[in-house]
Amino acid sequence: MNGTRGILAYGAHVPYRRLARSAIAEVMGAGGGGGYRAVASFDEDTTTMGVEAARQALAGGAPAPRALWFSTVAPAYLDKTNATVVHAALRLGASVPALDFGGAPRSAIGALRTALASGDRTLVVASDLRVGLPTGPEDGGGGDAATAVLVGSDEDGPLVAEYLGGATATAEFTDRWRTPGEAHSRTWEDRFGEQAYLPLVRQAWADALESTNLTAADVAISAVTGLHGRATKKAAVDLGVTIAEDRTDTVGNAGAAHPTLLLTDVLDGATPGDVVALVVLADGCEVLFFRATDALTTGRPTRSVTDQVENRADVSYALYLAWRGLLEVQPPNRPEPNRPSSSAAARRSDWKHGFVGSTDRSTGITHLPPSRVGISGGEVDNMEPAPMADTVGTVATFTVDHLVYSPSPPVVFAVVDFDGGGRMPVELTDVDPSEVEIGTRVEMTFRRLFTADGLHNYFWKGRPLRG
């Protein structure tokens, strides 16, 4: 391993929709509380949110990852790797391994620690979609979000945060659990977890300080998080350091993604030189120390966590439940779509996952989808790839379709003309029909169009460019 390890780039994705927790009690007469939780749209899953976070992290010209690690507690697929979808959407090469780390939130922070300890330039993506039964603690207290942290050494490029080291404490105790296939977790009584966690936090914190030759006074700010709310709060007080905003009021606890969501949030606001601690209570305790560098001031993603927290629209509780499959609603009386063809999708992966069209070398016309023959001139195979995922466009005309099948009708559809050339009719998402007009600016976002026969149909949609 060469050079100093640390973070080369980072990004987060907080979905556009929010559930006001007060809406839960309005419907159910109980549950909820104050504040909001972030809600993945009906067309988002942990994979698509991971893609969006990764795009945020890599948008600023960060070096290309040599490995992609994806961690979630709510995988879109089992048996099939989800990281390969993220890999395809990011257009990473075949020699870049894409691996899933699943099971528990601990896997996500473990992936980050392992990446920091390894020699590879690794994009660590954490994504979670927290679902609980109505009125339950995760129903209101959970949140949906994803993060991406590009880990590498200062030889790969300027680090925005150096990794100073850390410590871990591991113990077996069953405080929170869920058997595969269950929609919600169960927990033991709070006080058991609290007494199990606190010594582990103290131990890991002390070991981390010792191994890094730091004192608590050196730590500018600490992000402390875990799914055991009571233990987390207590631990934060115990450490006696400045504690970062934990985003429970505005996002909710995003499980596997929450530690890195808080880390990115802290880095968004850190001053070069600040020592930042990340303390994660997850079947033990992980403590990691970072130091913000001068490169942070120019290396932050274009959209901070705060930007995304503020860019929001409410969703009703009933619609939220329907989106999560907890409230079955009458489907439109239209045939459901066919499952996508795996062989056709594999042939066109660069289009389907990467949103890469083709540009005719002789006419300069961009074709979406890619075409072997140009619409003008008619030359065959005189095209070069035209990656369009990061290109912004303008609505040329649009409509709202109340008839077509959709997991959440109506469908807002627009013909989008991309800056610099290229046109495509695309579905819009994260949008209210009334806010679209000819001229609305649109960016592309990776989504799950529908699921048929257990196959998720991933493709790109447009959404209004906000902020």
Partner 1 sequence: MASHGIRDQVAIVGMGCTPFREHWDRSLDDLLIEAHGLALVSAGMTKDDVDAYWYGTSQSSASGISLATPLRLDNRPVTRVENYCATGSEALRQACYAVASGAYDVAVAIGAEKVKDGGYQGLNAFPIPTDGTNRTLTAAAMFSLILPAYAKRYGVGEDDLRHVVARIAEKNHYNGARNELAQFRRETSAEVICEMAAVAGRLSVFDCAGVADGAAAAVVVSAERATDFCDDPLYVKALSLVAGNGSGLVDPSFDFTTLPECAASATDAYAQAGITDPRAELAMAEVHDCFTPTELVLMEDLGFCDRGTAWSEVLDGTFALDGELPVNPDGGLKSFGHPVGASGLRMHYEAWLQLRGRAPEERRIGTLGDRSRALVHNLGGYPGEMVSFVSIVGTEKD
Q: What is the DSSP string of 121-185?
A: -EEEEEEEE----TTSHHHHHB-EEEEEEEEEETTTS--SEEEEEEEEEE----SEE--TT-SS-
Q: For residue 136, what are the contacts with CB-CB under 8 A and spacing of at least 6?
A: 31, 184
Extract the tokens encoding 155: 């030889």
Question: Which strands form 36-39's sheet, in the order they lie side by side?
Answer: 36-39, 17-20, 313-314
Extract the tokens encoding 394: 């303008």
Chain residues in the site for partner 1 (CB under 8 A): 333-335, 337-341, 344-345, 347-348, 351-352, 365, 367-369, 371, 375-376, 396-405, 411, 413, 415, 417, 421-425, 438, 449, 457-459
Nearest-approach distance from CB 329 to partner 1, in angstroms? 18
Name the residue nearer to partner 1 (CB basis): 42 or 413. Answer: 413
Report the SS3 class of residue 33.
coil
Name the residue nearer to partner 1 (CB basis): 12 or 368. Answer: 368
Nearest-approach distance from CB 316 to partner 1, in angstroms? 21
Name the residue nearer to partner 1 (CB basis): 203 or 399. Answer: 399
Name the residue nearer to partner 1 (CB basis): 21 or 448. Answer: 448
Nearest-approach distance from CB 240 to partner 1, in angstroms? 54
Name the residue nearer to partner 1 (CB basis): 101 or 351. Answer: 351
d(CA 239, CA 280): 13
Name the residue nearer to partner 1 (CB basis): 66 or 339. Answer: 339
Nearest-approach distance from CB 445 to partner 1, in angstroms? 15
d(CA 142, CA 129): 8
Pairing of strands 275-281, 219-226: parallel
Name the residue nearer to partner 1 (CB basis): 187 or 382. Answer: 382
Nearest-approach distance from CB 444 to partner 1, in angstroms? 13
Nearest-approach distance from CB 238 to partner 1, in angstroms? 51
Name the residue nearer to partner 1 (CB basis): 326 or 415. Answer: 415
Pairing of strands 393-401, 441-452: antiparallel
Q: What is the DSSP string of 36-63?
A: EEEE--TT--HHHHHHHHHHHHHTTTPP
Report the SS3 class of residue 381.
coil
Extract the tokens encoding 395: 């609505």
Nearest-approach distance from CB 80 to partner 1, in angstroms? 15
Q: For residue 137, what are the contacts with CB-CB under 8 A and spacing of at least 6?
A: 187, 229
Nearest-approach distance from CB 463 to partner 1, in angstroms? 17
Pairing of strands 161-170, 284-292: antiparallel
d(CA 167, CA 148): 22
Nearest-approach distance from CB 374 to partner 1, in angstroms? 9
Name the residue nearer to partner 1 (CB basis): 93 or 439. Answer: 439
Nearest-approach distance from CB 421 to partner 1, in angstroms? 7
Name the residue nearer to partner 1 (CB basis): 200 or 365. Answer: 365
Report the SS3 class of residue 109.
helix
Q: Count other C-beta atoms under 10 Å from residue 131's C-beta.
A: 21
CB burial of residue 384 (10 Å; 0-12, 13-18, 19+) = exposed
